[in-house]
């Protein structure tokens, strides 16, 4: 797996797993791959994965069952909270950044739309069948 060398790996792992939960690839109650499994598939040390998991456990999103595995909480409300929280933080980051560049609210939406258009040119999503 590829990581941004400007952000701690354990933190990026956390983001990836959280994103999977929000996207529904990991449903409430689902079992995560074994820690050693995750470490191998991400080409990372076990301790690094564990550090990511520790934080997620502390935040109540992951439930750890010794000898059995790690599971996504079955509390749908926590997952929903997580979703809102992450979505907002992502949007806020873009908003703050573009704001610092003196981009107005309207321009901001326009820029995003334009970017998506450009993406569409090469991806062709929604168009090809």
Integer CA distances (angstroms), 115 to 26, 58, 118, in order: 29, 37, 5
Interface residue with DNA among 15, 25, 37, 119 (CB under 7 A) is 37
Stretch that binds its own copies, among 27-35, 49-57, 61-69, 88-96 (CB under 8 A): 88-96
Which residues, listed in sequence order, are joined to residue 62 by a DSSP beta bridge?
72
Q: Which residues pair with 65 in a beta bridge?
A: 69
Q: 107 contacts which partner out of DNA, its own copies, none, CB within 5 to 8 A by kind?
A: none
Residue 26 DSSP one-character state? S
Residue 97 contact partner, candidates DNA, its own copies, none, CB within 5 to 8 A by sort of partner: its own copies
C-alpha–C-alpha distance, residues 22 and 25, integer Å: 8
45 has which bridge partners?
A: none
CA dist 55 and 84 (Å) reads 19
Contacts with DNA, residue ranges (CB under 7 A): 5, 8-11, 32, 34-37, 43-48, 50-51, 53-54, 57, 64-70
Contacts with its own copies, residue ranges (CB under 8 A): 6-8, 11, 19, 22-24, 83, 86-88, 90-95, 97-98, 100-102, 105, 108-109, 111-113, 115-116, 119-120, 125-126
């Amino acid at each position: 797996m590829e990581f941004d060398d400007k952000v701690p790996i354990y933190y990026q792992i956390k983001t990836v797993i959280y994103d999977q939960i929000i996207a529904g690839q990991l449903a409430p109650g689902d079992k995560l791959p074994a820690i050693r499994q995750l470490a191998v598939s991400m080409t990372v040390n076990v301790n690094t994965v564990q550090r990511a998991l520790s934080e997620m456990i502390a935040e109540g999103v992951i439930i750890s069952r010794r000898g059995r595995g790690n599971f996504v909480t079955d509390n749908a409300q926590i997952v929903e909270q997580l979703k809102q929280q992450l979505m907002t933080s992502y949007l806020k980051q873009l908003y703050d950044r573009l704001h610092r560049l003196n981009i107005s609210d309207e321009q901001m939406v326009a820029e995003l739309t334009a970017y998506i258009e450009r993406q569409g040119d090469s991806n062709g999503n929604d168009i090809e069948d």
